[in-house]
Structure 1
Amino acid sequence: MENMEYWRWQERRSFVISAENPTGAKAGGGRGGDCTKLHPTVTIESGQITTLADIEGPAMIRHIWMTGYIGHSFILRIYWENEEDPSVECPISAFFGDAYDEDFADRDGKYPVLNSALLLIAPGRGYNAYFHMPFRRHCRITMENRSQEAKDLYYSISGSYEEIPDDALYFHACYRQEHPVQKGRSYTVVDGITGKGQFLGLTLAAGMNGNNTCWVEGEARMYIDNDRYPSMHYTGTEDYFGGAYGFGNDICQKEYQTFCGLYTGLYAVLGDQRQQYRQQQRFLLYHFHLPDPITFRENFRMTLDNLGWTGPRYDDYTSAAYWYQTLPHARLTPLPADEDMIMK
């Protein structure tokens, strides 16, 4: 982890890129004076790709905040070092750990709140990411609107110009979904990663199909450097995400209990399981391998079973995977069509 002694002088020059200062330039903010709002947001037309940041390095992105329209029709992309293909390509909602972007209330009628070391979703749908993203020469961040109408985005991208060490890796993220998971087959969280790097973790949205009994018996498997069988093999799904016994549904209270840890959690349950006729029950989870990094030298892939007490299931799984690696990188898996991302 980076030195967090914030009282020490650091040889850096800070910037914040926003609609009010789109280049992050020194003294480049609004000229309206005190208590004025000139350009708090950007409007992205249907089918338009807008460049949010175009930064010459060396520098480090340290915080990204976004709100406004925060649905799956906004596609976030990040390009490092003038590469043609993005290293990050993900719907904004899934990137911030909230793939069920159309559910504004949890089972208790409150905003789902994710409070971890790397992602924060605050009430009112304030999306925050604290992934450190170093680069040496150039960074470009874009947002595409794949919806049928114009959408507004509020954003700030914070960081600092500074020297980047030779061993720094590049941040990557990609999106996957299976609606539903093919029964009897593992769900692929990520594959096709080539190069040297570290797997950082994932966020998962799971929607129950069929009965709402146990769905967390599935095991997480990580295949490192041409493994035939997994080197990292975890037990049940709730175990991988830091819980036990169905997150409390199997014992005592007989109800899933949410929790937010620094590195792992089940932060929201959507849909009231206590109603006889209820919507699809949905779960939002995360696991970040900060204190227990998963390193690879050649390639990496991860799968997750969809399994219950009675055998394989066919639930809806949606995930975002995060990792750091050397460049160049393999092309990311193409995104589904916008209409296929809708969670029904």
Structure 2
Amino acid sequence: MNNYCMIQNSKTFAFSAENPTGVRAGGSQGGDCTKLRPTVTIPAGETVTLVDAAGPGVIQHMWFTGYVGHHFIIRMYWDDQEYPSVEAPLSAFFGCAYDENFVDRDGKYPVLNSAMMLVAPGRGYNSYFEMPFHKRARITMENRGDKDENLYYIITGAYQEIPAEAGYFHATYRQEHPVQKGRTYTIVDGIEGRGQFVGVTLATGMNGNNTCWVEGEARMYLDDDPYPSIHYTGTEDYFGGSYGFGNDIIIKSYQTFSGLYTGMYAIYGDNREFYNGQQRFLLYHFHIADPIRFENKFRMTLDNMGWTGPRYDDYTSVAYWYQTLPSAPLMPLPTDAEMCMR
């Protein structure tokens, strides 16, 4: 039976700009129809703490809006580990790495409508990944831009007992602008510990003639596998589609879709010419119904290929997984200037 209908020994918490400490009765005392502190300003070059909670407990939902671009870096620390288990630009974390493009190919706000994340019209970012912690949870936001920015947020969860076998949520950012031609793109590597891989969001920007960019194959290496144990047949296949997301059959045009766990939910660029558009694509695959289990290591790669062979497109991704602590330090982020994507 689902948790929401069970009376449990747990206590709800919620951190927001109006209640930054997340304590009971800690929200605004201004009365009805007042806004005393609906947003938090993060000065350029500074970091603010959004959550600092003593466990045990679990974060259940996060919502953000306001400035939600790549200048903001979200980090999450579990149980006083010195370095973060989550580190990514806020926009890329929510599968929206082309944060300087608000309107998609069809003149609409793109909508990612999955079970784990929702990008709502106007850039309302929502996460429903459960993030358990035993001793402490700390979430920070750094502004790496050159001007002050405002953030609206609410992060909710519950203080409750957490099973000893519960894994800790992790996420890491990667990019290659462009991918080195003839070399596979690395989604994630360097994971050390026992856990399960639960997904990836990907942004791709075409460089040169399109030539059906989705021919690249996804490969997953479990533990000490010298060769992949999980090997997909093509990029569109890994993200739940087929035949170039519809671009090489019948209507011969890419078609967006957004499902519970997989999707290609947005296209930027209005060139609809068959295969030749210099377009940008946003995709996701969450392994919730089929988590990928590993005992001590995990690595995933994705080819960048077209019909004519290797390509040199711009790839940007965030990988998500759960594992035991301590975990290995994440790969350092590129500079703020290197992250600029249009």
Query: How do residues 75-86 of structure 1 correspond to structure 2 at under 5 angstroms?
Result: 75-86=73-84
In structure 2, the residue corresponding to 1:6 is in which secondary structure?
helix
Partner deviation per Cα, 1:209-268 (whole Å, 9 max, x = no partner): 001230000000001111110011111000000000000001010000111110000001
Aligned to 1:203: 201
Distance 2:210 2:223 in 1: 37
Q: Does structure 1 retain, via aligned residues, the 8 Å contact 2:210–2:277? A: no
- Structure 1 residue 15: Cα displacement: 1.1
Q: Distance in 1 between matches of 2:141 and 2:4?
A: 32
| TM-aligned CA deviation for residue 162 of structure 1 | 0.5
* Residue among 126, 129, 150 paired with 1:128: 126
Report how many residues are paired: 341
Aligned residue for 2:338?
Answer: 340
The answer for the alignment partner of 1:162 in structure 2 is: 160
Distance 1:110 1:336 in 2: 30
Aligned to 1:284: 282
Distance of 1:148 and 1:275 partners within structure 2: 38
Q: What amino acid is the match of 2:174?
A: R
Cα distance in structure 2, aligned partners of 1:340 and 1:228: 32
Q: Supply the distance in 1 between the matched residues of 2:193 and 2:103 (Cα, whole angstroms).
A: 40
Q: Secondary structure at the match of 1:20?
A: coil
Give the structure 1 partner of residue 266 of structure 2.
268
1:233 to 228, 231, 250: 231
Partner of 2:214: 216
- In the TM superposition, residue 7 of structure 1 has moved relative to its aligned partner by 2.4
1:95 to 85, 90, 93: 93
Equivalent of residue 57 in structure 2, options 44, 50, 59: 59
Structure 2 counterpart of 1:247: 245
Per the TM alignment, residue 279 of structure 1 is displaced from its structure 2 partner at its CA by 8.0
- For residues 29-60 of structure 1, the C-alpha deviation after alignment (integer angstroms, 9 at most, x for no partner) is 00100110000000001100111110000010
Read off the aligned partner of 1:288 and give its amino acid letter.
F
CA distance in 2, matches of 1:274, 1:334: 37
Query: 2:210–2:306: 8 Å Cα contact kept in structure 1?
Result: no
Is the 2:202–2:317 Cα contact (8 Å) retained in structure 1? yes
State the match for 1:36 in structure 2: 34
Q: Deviation at 1:5?
A: 5.0
Residue 10 of structure 1, CA deviation: 2.0
Query: In structure 1, how many angstroms separate the alpha carbons of the residues matched to 2:273 and 2:184?
Result: 31
Tell me which residue corresponds to 1:320: 318
Contact 2:70 2:99 in 1 (8 A): yes
Take 1:42 and 1:280, find their aligned partners in 2: how far apart are those partners? Answer: 38
What TM-score does the superposition give when structure 2 sets the normalisation length? 0.98
Q: Which residue of 2 aligns with 1:23?
A: 21
- Alignment CA distance shift 1:221-1:275 (3 Å): closer
Match of 1:153 in 2: 151
Measure, in 2, the Cα distance between the counterparts of 1:275 and 1:165.
53
How far is the alpha carbon of 1:24 from its aligned partner?
1.0
Deviation at 1:12, TM superposition (A): 1.2
User: In structure 2, how many angstroms separate the alpha carbons of the residues matched to 1:154 and 1:61?
Assistant: 17
Distance 1:91 1:140 in 2: 17
Match of 1:103, as an amino acid? N
Could you tell me which residue of structure 1 aligns to residue 304 of structure 2? 306
Residue aligning to 2:295: 297
Structure 2 equivalent of residue 189 of structure 1 = 187
**Secondary structure, aligned partner of 1:93:** helix
Q: Normalising by structure 1, what TM-score?
A: 0.97
Equivalent position to 1:176, from 174, 177, 188: 174
Instruction: Give the Cα separation in 2 of the matches to 1:249 and 1:212.
Output: 11
Distance 1:280 1:332 in 2: 32
- Structure 2 residue matching 1:256: 3-state secondary structure: coil
Match of 2:2 in 1: 4
AA aligned opposite 2:77: Y
Instruction: Give, in whole Å, the separation in 1 of the partners of 2:160 and 2:5.
Output: 17
Residues 227 and 141 of structure 1, relative CA distance in 2, 3 Å threshold: same
What residue in structure 2 maps to residue 140 of structure 1?
138
Cα displacement string for residues 281-313 of structure 1 (whole angstroms, at most 9, x for unaligned residues):
100000011111100001001000000000000
* RMSD of aligned residue pairs (Cα, Å): 1.2
The amino acid of 2:227's aligned partner reads Y
Unpaired segments of 5 or more residues in structure 1? none
User: 2:211–2:308: 8 Å Cα contact kept in structure 1?
Assistant: no
1:86-131 per-position Cα deviation (integer Å, ceiling 9, x unaligned): 0000000000110000010010110010000100000011000001
Runs of 4+ in structure 1 over 6 Å off: none
